[in-house]
Chain A
Amino acid sequence: QVLLVESGGGVVQPGRSQRLSCAASGFTLSDYGMHWVRQAPGKGLEWVAVIWYDGTNKYYADSVKGRFTISRDNSKNTLYLQMNSLRAEDTALYYCARPQYSSGWNDAFDTWGQGTMVIVSS
């Protein structure tokens, strides 16, 4: 069974850091590019970042560029999102998502985790 399980969310003060993890099982993580997508409470979906299957390329939404870093450890079947300089507007449910086939991008997301909630508040 293909499964993605996010963790690491919680309440964090503005300006502080948080690291999210996404544990993959049921497939070979190193075959796929991987994404983070977020959803603010009561709002729509916002793509955050992508990392190529081998970690060589990373791209970010303008809203997080320079503050967030996506990474992966294929030996541990785990995807990460390091979030620095957090702002109130980063409050959201963060999903990791796997594309159908792609090792990079240009592919729809057929597998999603259940999400981990990050609340940025003092």
Chain B
Amino acid sequence: ESVLTQSPGTLSLSPGERATVSCRASQSVSSSYLAWYQQRPGQAPRLLIYGTSNRATGIPDRFSGSGSGTDFTLTISRLEPEDFAVYYCQHYGGSPTFGQGTKVEIK
């Protein structure tokens, strides 16, 4: 079972800026089974990206994912006010595991 470590823990940015969140796996994982979720306060998680780089239904194209092996990245090209939230990576090959989360906060 791969342990996922996200960095940074908190990202302080302004609307319109670019956000980059990293997810590192303790062992190589299939890029087919890497997802990203957004969780706003008081809400359930929402699937953003699956299979490393595929946007889920209804997700704006300012969200993108990339990576392979042990290193994966979520990029938000231009932050909108509603994007300030916590982001989690997930590996779902076998028993699913989540990263510890990255909070994107308003600077």
Contacts and interface: CB of A to CB of B under 8 A. Distances in A.
A47 B92 CA distance: 10
Contact of A47 (B33, B47, B95): B95
Residue with the greatest number of chain A CB neighbours at <10 A, chosen from B50, B96, B99: B96
B58 to A, nearest CB: 10
Interface in B42-90: 44-47, 50-51, 56-57, 88, 90
B96 A110 contact: no
Contact of A115 (B44, B51, B57, B92): B44
Given A112-B44, A114-B44, A47 B96 contact: yes
A44 B23 CA distance: 14
A100 B93 CA distance: 14
Interface residues of B, number: 24
B56 A110 contact: yes
Contact of A108 (B35, B100, B101): B35
- Of listed A45, A50, A112, residue having the most chain B CB within 10 A: A45
Interface in A73-107: 95, 100, 105-107
B98 to A, nearest CB: 4
A112 B96 contact: no
A35 interface: yes
Interface in B1-54: 33, 35, 37, 39, 44-47, 50-51
A100 B44 contact: no
Interface string A1-17: 00000000000000000
A108 B47 contact: yes
Given A44-B98, A50-B96, A112-B45, 7 more contacts: A44-B101, A46-B98, A107-B50, A110-B50, A110-B56, A112-B44, A114-B44
8 contacts: A44-B99, A44-B100, A47-B95, A105-B94, A106-B94, A108-B50, A109-B45, A115-B44
